[in-house]
A and B are shown apart, each in its own frame.
Chain A
Amino acid sequence: MFLRLVADSFGRRPRHKFLTGAALALGMAVATAALSVALDVGDRLAKEFRSLGANLLVTPQADSLPLEIGGVDYRPVNSGAYLPEADLGKLKTIFWHNNVIGFSPVLEVKVSSSTPRWSPASATFVRPAANGDAVLIGTWSNHPVALPDGGNFITGLQQTSPWWRVEGSWFEDGAGQCIVGKAFAERHGVIIGSPLYLSTSTSDGLSLKVTGIFTSGSSEDDAVVTSLSIVQQYIGKSGQYRKLYVSALTKPEDDFARRDPKTMKAKEFERWSCSPYVSSIAYSIKQVLPGAEVRVVRRVAEGEGAILTRVRMLLWLVTGAALLAAALAVGASSAASVIERRTEIGLMKALGAGSGTVGFLLAAEQLLLAFVGGGAGYALGIILARLLGEGIFGAAPEPSLIVFLVIIALATGVTLLGSAIPLRRASRYKPAPILRGE
């Protein structure tokens, strides 16, 4: 009988039920879309922030003080310490290996460069005297790193310095190719495809082919960039590097993250090292690279943290506002649907139904609506969140079970709460005046 009454109510007033359900579904779709985006945005934006490049800098601990002005290290080649390149695969074995999205080791040396000029008289390239100081930077462009578990991880400058704009193409690893900075190219009249001779006071010349001209907007614009192995061989430091840039996905730092891990209790330390703060990633990198010092690039990390926190809060507030509005509108709709059914309630009571039975019947109807409407709203919301995510970040947020549960719970709560007040009043109705039309 109970089920029949419920079914009858739906069958008799399909348009009303449909509209209440639609209000519910739309409200829950807003909530789902906003929630999915808010939950997902942190990760997506953290990835976007990697376009700012490396946020960790690794240098040898035992190094002498770098004499670096304007990107040029004025120390002689043989002073200072180096780190072994062979260890780099270990970076992808740390606890946060999935957060490490790229790294590139750097070895720099000051050289004199000369560009051969085409001599029409002799119809050959003529090699002039060395015509200027330059910095030769050895690094990776797109280099496969052998991982201890047997896999390969391809990384290099294209991940850690994504803002470099290269005209022509990047150099290939170990192929005797290089790219030159724009300022360097302009000064020396270097064009893509021309050969370049480099020499230092102590060692012989090195010949490279220019495959591209890059702009970085910093001191590298004055430099020549080639593959790490070439520079290693050239200065006799094979398998070694001096600086390592690491780009890692991080969680914005809060006050807890800024504490010194040495002063933490065991429990706190565990929590600290299990959050991908930039400082805890730095700590775990230091564990696998013996003799290295890992520093946080403050410029990148601080700005990123500040903006991520703000945007997250902003989206949570938008979500909160959306939830509130959806809840109020849906609650109002369910309240209205109960208010309008006074006659029906009076009739049921006149036929001997208790207040409890009437309330239960109406609540069951509302619950059914909540499930159907909530489910439909969730589906609609997920589609919208997908469209939003794909349009803006090129990747859709994963539908999550938590959001589904939250939405269903919200739909139930809101409909029940919305109908609770009118139901309480309905249970006090006296059937006779209602049936008399008073």
Chain B
Amino acid sequence: MATHRTSNRAMFWRIIRRLFGANPGRLFVMLLALGAGAAVTAALLNLEVDAKRRLTSEFRTFGANIIIAPPDSGHASGSATISETLLDRFPNQTSGSSIPRAAFLYAIAEVTAFSGEGKDSSRLGAAPAVIAGYRFLADDLKQVVPYQVIEGDNVVILDAETCEIGQKVASQFHLHVSGVLKLKAGETEHSCVISQIRGFGGAEDSQIFLPMKTVQHLAGLPQQVSLIQAVVPGGPAQIEHYLNDLRSRFPDADVRTVRQFTEGEARIYNRISGLLTATVAIVLVLTGLCVMAAMTNVAMERKNDVGLMKAIGGSVRRVLRLFLAEAALLGLAGGMIGGAVGIFLSIGLGKAVFGVAARPRLIVYPVAVALTIIVAILSAYPLRRLASIRPASVFRGEA
């Protein structure tokens, strides 16, 4: 009995081998269809998981989404200040990354503008202007307050105190890079050389940017800042969580979100991720159906094989099992090849879109392989209709 079963099994695999070997063209075609489906499944699943995470960090380009201001003073904001040490007391986010942030101190100074430093420089005018002292803990101030450099990209000014000015200040005084500003607030004076002209498209355009220490000295407010802006990455829930953390840490300051951006971001993020999920789902379902239709078409051509097996005494169940095993093996092979191709594809795609290679998620691979096997087996299933085939009519060339 045992030997009978062993030889049966040996025969089963022998037939399967022969089925594969019989028609290499067909084998190739089936593998191609299944592999293409698996590759797209793996690539899209991998990309989708990765893209959503990347998109949230992409929203950082909007700049600060949290503002920490002095508590409500009863007067319109501007005159009150908070301690500068708050800037250094920000907790890291749960993911361990530090939050890009910057502190600003605003004051009004009498500004006199000169075209340059030398003796032949001319006085361009004088007017009161807002000076903004800043200190940031980020790669670049741009991360917190996005701007465009209008003049003075790659300009390095040595041996002088430098300052940057907004485009409105520049046009007001007809200033250019390397122009000189003399600032006077109360009794204190300071002068600086302009190193950059920046366009913000907001109130910052009419400000003069100086190092924090300088403005604190000019305004007579050591260790004080007017506000702190921070860029908290992540989805709405993460931002809210971080916000609560900040509120409990800084009880005597007013911590608020920049609603313009937090709300817009949440809305846009939901749209984009919904769009991505829906598109990927539709593409996957249709690709699956398409592969299935193609495979069924191929499977239906196996009438002769089925007829022959039945003629020499194969029971319907065993014949069907043979073909299902063949399909499952094909699915496995196609899924493994296609899945691997797809993951590499998504790494490349991620690099193309976000500039950073998508991190391959290993879970995607078995999922893609399993889906491919399911599609392959489902597409071989219509063969059970062939059970009603009468061997004789197949051989006579009928039906």
Contact = CB atoms under 8 A, between A and B. Distances in A.
Interface of A: 15-16, 19-20, 22-23, 26-27, 29-30, 33-34, 37, 41, 45, 48-49, 51-53, 55-57, 59, 61, 64-72, 74, 110, 132-135, 161, 163, 165, 183, 186-187, 215-219, 222, 258, 293, 295-303, 306-307, 310-311, 313-315, 317-318, 321-322, 324-326, 328-333, 335-337, 339-340, 384, 388, 391-393, 422, 425
A333 B379 CA distance: 13
A187 B74 contact: yes
Given A163-B259, A328-B32, A340-B301, A30 B353 contact: no
Interface in B12-37: 23, 25-26, 29-30, 32-33, 35-37
B267 A48 contact: yes
Given A317-B47, A332-B32, A303 B259 contact: no
20 contacts: A23-B290, A30-B290, A48-B268, A49-B264, A64-B172, A70-B227, A71-B203, A216-B260, A298-B200, A299-B146, A302-B61, A303-B59, A306-B61, A307-B55, A311-B272, A314-B276, A328-B33, A336-B29, A340-B301, A391-B278
Nearest to B298: A336
B40 A297 contact: no
A433 to B, nearest CB: 15
Contacts of B272: 45, 307, 311
A72 B279 contact: no
Interface string B287-301: 101110110111011
Given A52-B261, A301-B201, A332 B76 contact: no
Nearest to B278: A388
B108 interface: yes
Interface in B89-146: 106, 108, 127-130, 145-146
B257 A217 contact: yes
Contacts of B349: 317, 321
Which interface class (under 10, 10 to 19, 20 to 34, 35 or more) fits B? 35 or more
Contacts of A296: 148, 199, 201
Contacts of A218: 258-260
A72 B264 contact: no
Contact of B297 (A53, A61, A337): A337
Contacts of A132: 74-75
B347 interface: no
B283 A68 contact: no
Q: Is the interface of B mostly helix, strand, loop or mixed?
A: helix
A65 B268 contact: no
A327 B144 CA distance: 46
Contacts of B300: 15-16, 19
B262 A392 contact: no
B29 A335 contact: yes
B58 interface: yes
B181 interface: no
Interface of B: 23, 25-26, 29-30, 32-33, 35-37, 39-40, 43-44, 47, 51, 54-55, 58-59, 61-63, 69, 72, 74-78, 106, 108, 127-130, 145-148, 167-169, 171-172, 199-203, 205-206, 226-227, 256-264, 267-268, 271-272, 274-276, 278-280, 282-283, 286-287, 289-291, 293-294, 296-298, 300-301, 345, 349, 352-354
Given A133-B75, A187-B72, A331-B32, 9 more contacts: A59-B168, A70-B106, A132-B75, A298-B200, A325-B37, A328-B33, A337-B297, A339-B26, A425-B25
B271 A328 contact: no
B76 A336 contact: no
The 7 closest A-B pairs by CB, nearest first: A217-B259, A328-B36, A333-B294, A297-B201, A70-B77, A303-B62, A23-B293
Contact of B167 (A74, A295, A335): A295
A51 B287 contact: no
A49 B59 CA distance: 12
Contact of A329 (B37, B78, B354): B37
Given A303-B63, A329-B33, A392-B275, A219 B297 contact: no
A30 B262 CA distance: 34
B290 A384 contact: no
Most buried by B among A19, A29, A132, A258: A19
A57 B167 CA distance: 13
B264 A51 contact: yes
A339 B32 CA distance: 15
Q: Is the interface of A mostly helix, strand, loop or mixed?
A: helix
B76 A23 contact: no
Nearest to B280: A318
Contacts of A293: 168, 171
A388 B280 CA distance: 11
Nearest to B60: A303
B259 A336 contact: no
Given A27-B290, A307-B268, A71 B77 contact: yes
Contacts of A310: 54-55, 58, 353-354
B202 A57 contact: yes
B294 A325 contact: no
A71 B352 CA distance: 41
Contact of A65 (B168, B274, B289, B301): B168
A181 to B, nearest CB: 11
B278 A135 contact: no
A215 B148 contact: no
Contacts of A161: 260
Contacts of A321: 40, 43-44, 283, 345, 349
A333 B293 contact: yes
B77 A332 contact: no
A388 B279 contact: yes
Given A70-B77, A422-B25, A51 B263 contact: yes
B147 A298 contact: yes
A30 B271 CA distance: 21
B40 A322 contact: yes
